[in-house]
Amino acid sequence: MKPYVTVQQHILEQQRKHPSATGDFSLLLTGITLATRFIANEVRRAGLKDVYGDTGTINVQGELVQKLDRYADDTIIRCLNYRNMVSMIASEENQEAILLHNSLEGGKYIVIFDPLDGSSNIDVNISVGTIFSILGQPQNQEKQETDILQCGYKQLAGGYVIYGPSTELVYTTGHGVHIFTLDPDIGTYILVDEYKKIPSKSKIFSINEGNYQSFPNGVKNWLAYVKDEKNGPYSARYVGSLVADFHRTLLKGGIFVYPPTTKSPNGKLRLLYEANPLAFIAEQAGGMASNGKQRILDIKPESLHQRTPLIIGSKEEAERVCNFLREDSH
């Protein structure tokens, strides 16, 4: 029987490959995994506790804050607040970044996260997740929110946890994509797949066709392509929870598309704490992520909650969508 490798062991093993490592980065990652174990436990017991429904407040995105949103946000902040290596954190639920108490003492890292992606689906027991991104803190200057506005290719780590039939952690530090499953009996994540690769092509597409009338013509033309029998058969799969849709795409291949619409001409997904970490994972797994015009990881952010269209998945399928969009723009 193959011996178990825990996420802590895996992180330490990765650290040994970098002789100059101080251990701070590893401690930061374990802080994030600790928070997600608390969240996983709360999600699992949601139907037994008064955590379904919304809080009655609206967040910066103009969305109703769910009770589990608030719990997840508070839990991650609490688990990171005691780690001196973190200078600043930012969340989907907060208008501004939070400078931690140790921020003037030389914290080296910035953590950005969506505490509970897909939370509007929690009441109907659909998989939700936590998405996170870690950036380096620019040094030799007073720390400020604009330090967060870094291109995605500068990420030091990106990952997510999906709370489904099992709780799984997927992360990369730029050296492959690794997948762990939470073992509830021992309370830790166990390595189940190392250096994961997304299938190079797969005839699965994921898009909310309810918005079809407001899609760009290039997207409509692409949809006509995947529905043409001579190009298929393609299968449609759409959950409506970004983490769940991306996780399926990572494992099975295919393409997830969230294009601009008349209502959201700049796209709807958040660049810094949704698109960037997932794009980092997709590329490390051999896939591709684009906004239809350029690589997601090359976009220079202008604001904390900036939105973007997202085309992400198997490289061949992502390039096909982008080609349809380019043809439409000519």
Tens-place pLDDT, residues 83-99: 888 999 999 989 899 98
Q: Token pair for residue 29?
A: 């990652």
pLDDT surpasses 60 at 52: no
pTM: 0.93
Name the residue among 81, 131, 61 with its Cα closest to residue 306: 61
Name the residue among 170, 193, 186, 187 with its Cα closest to residue 40: 187
Q: Token pair for residue 99?
A: 């400078």
Please report the pLDDT score of residue 25 as a whole number.
86
- Mapped onto helix, strand or coil, the DSSP state of residue 310 is strand
- Pairing type for strands 188-193 and 177-183 reads antiparallel
Q: How many CA atoms lie within 13 A of 187 on its CB side?
A: 6
CATH 3.40.50.300 fits 204-329, yes or no: no
Domains 7-193 and 204-329 share a fold: no
Contacts of 84 (CB under 8 A, 6+ apart): 102, 105, 107
Give pLDDT tens digits for 314-328: 999 999 999 999 987
Query: How many residues belong to the chain?
Result: 330
Top-confidence residue, 126 or 151: 151
% of the chain residues with pLDDT over 70: 89
Q: Where are the domains of the chain?
A: 7-193, 204-329
Contact between 253 and 245 (Cβ < 8 Å) = no
Rounded to whole angstroms, the Cα distance separating 266 from 278 reads 18
- Name the CATH superfamily housing domain 7-193: Fructose-1,6-Bisphosphatase, subunit A, domain 1 (3.30.540.10)
Q: Token pair for residue 227?
A: 């529905």
pLDDT band at 18 (very low <50, low <70, confident <90, very high): low
